[in-house]
Amino acid sequence: MSDALLEIRKLSLQFHTYQGVVRALEEVDLTLGHSEILGLVGESGCGKSVMARSVLRLNPEPPARVSQGEILFKGQDLLTLQPRGLREIRGRDISMIFQEPMSSLNPVYTIGNQMQEVITLHQRVSTAAARGIAVDMLRQVNMPDPEQCLAKYPHELSGGMRQRVMIAMELSCKPDLLIADEPTTALDVTVQGQVLTILADVARRMGTSVLFISHDLGVVAQLCDRVSVMYAGRIVETGPVERIFANPLHPYTKGLLRAVPSLEDDKKALQVIPGNVPRLINPPSGCRFHPRCPSRFGPCDRVVPGLTEVEANHHVACHLYGT
């Protein structure tokens, strides 16, 4: 337990808006070990990005409020950290890359300027040394002509290249954890594979753990060691990647896997999960999936299922497997 790099316990977060209170995260449990790649999967709107931003407390505090829970990073609760301590961790111990490479870099400063800024902030090195580190990182992400790249502005690079720059920048201080919030969703399919491979390679080489957020099961299957499935602000299943795909336990996970079109069975109609993702202002009672669940029965609309271990390291939150 205390061996884990990142441990999120019973994290609950709400957004207070004009329309009401949005219960974005409800008692989320997540564990990530050293040098491990964990995938966090779910549909749009399930709260994955909120979850990702919560680790570094990037959700704007006035509308967002954490009502309970702990985020333990190397044993220390990030939620109780002073702003100064939090800033030290950001970029140095925990880094984050975002979904939109087109807008994640400041358009009025050069790549070199932005990278060196982060490096000199967290490491006691001279500007020249920082430059060297930046060039080295760019080389590691296979940027053609790294030195030239430093002098360029973000808009001079393509989306895929910008995302590689982001990877280089965020890994430049050798963090223990990298949070990747759908890093390839906004990229062309052809570029996606490239960026993912680079990300996985560099992370493994440096021993960095990755919290990889995505809605794309195929990508997750390729990249991750373990997977957590999220639905409507709750974690419904967690386990090693092979087990989740070979033996999905939660009805939602099963539905997700069935909905992926298969090249062999091209005669069958796509199986969709009926219904819509619930709005989190007034989430369903009990198990949040119950309105759409084909296996719904007695307690599902009243009692919230907790995570239980069904097989080795494979947890699920479903009444079918006993609360």
Partner 1 sequence: MRLLGYVLKRLLYSIPVLIGVTLLVFLISHAIPGDPARMMAGEKASNEAVARLRHSLGLDRPLPVQYVTYLGGLLKGDLGISIRNQRPVARDLMDIFPATLELTLVSILLCVLVGLPLGIFSALRRNRLFDHVSRVFSVVGISMPVFWLGLMLLLLFYSRLGWLPGSGRLDIRLDPPARITGMYLVDSLLEGNGRAFVSALSHIILPAFCLSYVYLAIITRITRSSMISVLGLDYITTARANGLSEARVVMKHALKNALIPTVTITGLSIGELLGGAILTETIFDWPGMGKYVVDSVGYLDFPAIMGFTLVVAVVYVIINLLVDLTYAVLDPQIRY
Shortest Å, Cβ 103 to partner 1: 4
- Residue 292 near partner 1 by CB under 8 A: no
Pairing of strands 177-181, 209-214: parallel
- What's at 243, amino acid-wise? R
Kindly state the DSSP code that residue 5 receives in the 8-state scheme.
S
Task: Kindly write out the interface string for residues 143-162 of this chain, putting x where it contacts partner 1 by CB under 8 A and - elsewhere.
Answer: ----------x-x-------
Helix runs in 35-93, H state only: 48-55, 83-89
- Residue 204 near partner 1 by CB under 8 A: no
Residue range at the interface with partner 1 (CB under 8 A); choices 34-42, 84-92, 248-256, 295-303:
84-92
**Edge to edge, what strands does the sheet with 64-73 contain?**
20-32, 6-17, 64-73, 76-77
Distance CA 47, CA 272 (A): 21
- Residue 186 near partner 1 by CB under 8 A: no
- Window 109 to 128, contacts with partner 1 (CB under 8 A): 109, 117-118, 121-122
Closest by Cα among 1, 8, 2 to 72: 8
> Can you tell me which of 96, 211, 280, 293 binds partner 1, judged by CB under 8 A?
96
- Residue 296 near partner 1 by CB under 8 A: no
- Residue 301 near partner 1 by CB under 8 A: no
Residue range at the interface with partner 1 (CB under 8 A); choices 85-93, 141-149, 222-230, 309-317:
85-93
Closest by Cα among 119, 162, 130 to 143: 162
3-state secondary structure of 70: strand
- Window 3 to 62, contacts with partner 1 (CB under 8 A): 56, 58
Pairing of strands 6-17, 314-316: unpaired
State which residue, 100 or 301, has the beta carbon closest to partner 1: 100
Positions that interact with partner 1 (CB under 8 A): 56, 58, 87-92, 95-96, 98, 100, 103-109, 117-118, 121-122, 153, 155, 166, 169-170
